[in-house]
Structure 1
Amino acid sequence: MLRRLIGPGALLLGVWACGPALAGTTLTVASFPSFDEAVKVAIPEFKKKFPDVEIKLVSLAYPDHHTAMTTALATGTKLPDVMAVEIGFIGRFAESGGLEDLGAAPYSAMQYQKQFARFTYPQAMSGLGKLAAIPADIGPGALFYRKDLLDKAGVSEADLTKSWDGFVDAGKKVKAATGAYMIASAVDLKDIYIRSGLKDGEGIYFDKGGKVLVDSPRFQKAFELAKAARVSGIDAKTAAWSPEWGEGFKRDRIATQMMGAWLGGHLASWLAPDTKGNWRSAQLPAGAFASWGGSFYAIPKKAENKKLAWEFIKFMTLDKEQQLRAFRALDAFPSLVAAQDDAFVDQPIAFLGEQKARQLWKVSANKIPATAVHRQDPVAQEIVNAELENVLEKGKDIKQALVDAKSQIEKRVRR
């Protein structure tokens, strides 16, 4: 058992001072694909620092992992030492009260804030200012497009990015000339638009005081864009991560996809490797910059090996070389600014036609606002998506749909 430390500065020394006490210690890390690959890459290097420690990686599918962690935090049982959390769940977990405050002693992690992308720490803060997790990777929003399909349609990158309405118009040309859908789903346009144009401290669905924002002009325009895409017939009506979505990329049926920069790695490794050289990356339309995805590490309050868990989290997030190992292996854009400044960012990407796309993603990462998260963000997203479905499939009036969405969210929050 690790002995109690009296201050954050003694943490690493304290772990090493335990010496033989670490023999036979197993550190349990709970994660999900493909974020779990970063742990696999890290294990050999971490064991060089702690040779007597075994790492037990427990990996479940993305939804199963977060469901299991939600249950574990609620019951206080079957908790790992280190918990991976994706951005969509960080608000809920931060407010759960079941995670260590990493901003407080003995962790004192606020001292490291300036070493990370500026928008990441606020994402992991609870309403009471507690730091629930440390960022490991980020998802600068990017527009991936099939250059070969656009060339056939006589559409340029500038046509895609000059404005949101221009993007829809370009989609009509692509569909007419190639038969390919411009986007997989009209929902994608809504998802990326509601994340753009925000200011520091603002949330996607809630403001600082918890007021619901979904009846704002931002959501109105997002719904209008999604409807325009559906009416124009430029979306494939295919949900992200479905088998049909993957087949759409493989069969040249989807011309663009707006997501986090990490999508480039997925396209190259398993989604559509045979389309190598045909894809390019661009910034989002209309000069927008938004975060799409991102992963964190947290420590449950009832974890058995908290001090060692903290050493592991620091290794995964503050060690430049480990951040770069994950970057090279997963194309998961690093949260650590020092890793973003590495020469690897300037290397061309073969899958993207030798484009130096990481340079674009770095620019985006530096311009993404530090938005806030709310524990009810997943609930708000679910309700908004249901109302958008009513607009797209049943012709519901957009303003009424947003009014109804706001009412439903407010009722859920008051429960």
Structure 2
Amino acid sequence: MRKSCVFALCALAASSAMAQKTVLTVAAFPAVDEIVKAALPEWNKKHPDVEVKVVSREYADHHTAMTTALAASSGLPDVMTIEYGFLGRFSQSGGLENLAAAPYSAQQFEKRFVPFAWAQARDERQGQTAMPTDIGPGAMFYRNDILEKAGVKPEQLTTSWTSFVEAGKAVKAKTGSYLVAHARDVKDIVIRTGIPAGEGIYYNAKGESVVGTAPRFKKAFALAKSIRDQGLDAKINAWSNDWGEGLKRGTITVQMMGAWLGGHLQNWLAPNTAGLWRSTTLPEGVATSWGGTFYAIPKKAQNKALAWDLIQYLTLNKAQQQAAFEKFNAFPALIEAQSGPFFDQPVPFLGNQKARVTWRDTALKIAPTRVFRNDPIAEEIVNAELDQVLTRGKSVDQALADAQRMIQRRAQR
């Protein structure tokens, strides 16, 4: 009888201890979910009484779920992971904590991050709505074996957009390989070039569309049309099966994306092409970003103090930031983490290039730009109008005028 009582008391005590354990919820998408999980053993040494539950969904499903949760002010996590493309919409929703205000006082950390990433998470009305954790310095990945076969030098790809196209013509003529997967890839780089301070890609400081007036859009559309007209793009969308096959088989010569693409090529997109790829800067020395990840705290979160503590560990701890880069190719937004032996090591997959040094140099040159709530809508409209130019012969001027009108109409709703 006594043994039974002791057992019952022990079970009750264990149950009570479990009941007292705080559960902190983190909503994330691949591979950020793995980064958080890998960081927890060290963070939990400070917080042994906290159980962190990582709710992982695929990229699109995650952001759809977070959009719904913010709109309903329910079902929100304690820590919300946000990819750059959704940052404007989520920041301006009014549903995220201002991390610049007390008790967070995040502004004291501003100088520790690359300026452009910090600026992306700052909204004029809502304040500093998120903390940057990783960034995507723009890079050009190219098949060195194809260039050698065509007798084209790598610098011909980067000197100017004119030489870029001419190099593509030589590659196509001598090897049959396409210069790029899709002409849209070139447009995406050019429209991010020379954005005035205080403006975004699609909107000026007043929130007005610049698609129909900014020269960079006309240049981008004209260049994309030239590439399509000369048969230099494979007409393949990124992340499609055909795109993956093109990268594996060498029918695509160049892919411009964030520096993180190198890890994707090595680990799952084209692992059989080790040593064939190289990385360099974008044409004309353009320094721009491609994606990036942020952590935010919803205003309806249940455990804000713990959420802030975890976010600080994930974003401000040098060792943690470096580990995320080394293990998961998450290029650190924290400047002090952009140093050390790992950055100077040659990358075997890229022919033993010291590519990380170039990526770091690019990251420090990227100018801050603003993000806006309707950026995804503007991007969708611009891409649709470019398709009209590329496939239906619509004039560049008319396409941009129509895009301008539609973007303004959507902004007024």
Count of residues in correspondence between the two structures: 396
In structure 2, the partner of 1:209 is 206
Q: Would you say 1:60 and 2:57 are equivalent positions?
A: yes
Letter in 2 for 1:26: V
Shift >4 Å, 4+ stretches = 20-23
Letter in 2 for 1:225: L
Mapped to 2, the partners of 1:33 and 1:177 lie a distance apart of 39
State which of 368, 382, 400 in structure 2 corresponds to 1:384. 382
Q: TM-score, normalised by structure 2?
A: 0.94
Letter in 1 for 2:124: G
Return the offset for 1:197: 2.0
Q: Deviations over 1:319-357 (max 9, x none)?
A: 000001100012211000000122321111111111000
Q: Would you say 1:78 and 2:71 are equivalent positions?
A: no
Q: Deviations over 1:29-52 (max 9, x none)?
A: 111112222112212222222222
Task: Tell me if the contact between 1:199 and 1:370 (Cα under 8 Å) persists in the aligned partners.
Answer: no
Q: CA RMSD in A?
A: 1.3
In structure 2, the partner of 1:276 is 274
State which of 121, 125, 131 in structure 2 corresponds to 1:124. 121
State which of 8, 33, 37 in structure 2 corresponds to 1:36. 33
Q: Deviations over 1:48-70 (max 9, x none)?
A: 22222222111111111111100
Return the offset for 1:362: 0.7
Equivalent position SS for 1:270: helix
Mapped to 2, the partners of 1:257 and 1:187 lie a distance apart of 11
State which of 283, 286, 289 in structure 2 corresponds to 1:288. 286
Task: Tell me if the contact between 2:203 and 2:372 (Cα under 8 Å) persists in the aligned partners.
Answer: yes
Letter in 2 for 1:303: A
Out of 160-169 and 44-53, give the one that drifted further. Answer: 44-53
Give 5+ residue unaligned stretches, structure 2.
Answer: 1-16
Q: TM-score, normalised by structure 1?
A: 0.93
Mapped to 1, the partners of 2:18 and 2:314 lie a distance apart of 23
Task: Tell me if the contact between 2:98 and 2:126 (Cα under 8 Å) persists in the aligned partners.
Answer: no
Equivalent position SS for 1:311: helix
State which of 351, 354, 370 in structure 2 corresponds to 1:353. 351
Q: Deviations over 1:201-254 (max 9, x none)?
A: 221000111121112210000001111111111111111111111111112111
Equivalent position SS for 2:298: coil
State which of 181, 185, 204 in structure 1 corresponds to 2:182. 185
Give 5+ residue unaligned stretches, structure 1.
Answer: 1-19
Q: Would you say 1:108 and 2:105 are equivalent positions?
A: yes
Task: Tell me if the contact between 1:23 and 1:53 (Cα under 8 Å) persists in the aligned partners.
Answer: no
Q: Deviations over 1:46-96 (max 9, x none)?
A: 222222222211111111111110000000111111110000010110100
State which of 292, 309, 312 in structure 1 corresponds to 2:310. 312
Letter in 1 for 2:407: I
Residues 195, 27 of structure 1: alpha-carbon distance in 2 compared, 3 angstrom cutoff: same
In structure 2, the partner of 1:364 is 362
Rg larger for: 2
Residues 105, 353 of structure 1: alpha-carbon distance in 2 compared, 3 angstrom cutoff: same
Mapped to 1, the partners of 2:43 and 2:20 lie a distance apart of 15
Equivalent position SS for 2:53: strand
Return the offset for 1:129: 5.4
Q: Deviations over 1:78-129 (max 9, x none)?
A: 1111110000010110100000111111001011000000111110112315
In structure 1, the partner of 2:265 is 267
State which of 121, 132, 136 in structure 1 corresponds to 2:133. 136
State which of 136, 145, 164 in structure 2 corresponds to 1:167. 164
Return the offset for 1:270: 0.6
In structure 1, the partner of 2:191 is 194
Return the offset for 1:144: 0.5
Out of 222-231 and 192-201, give the one that drifted further. Answer: 192-201
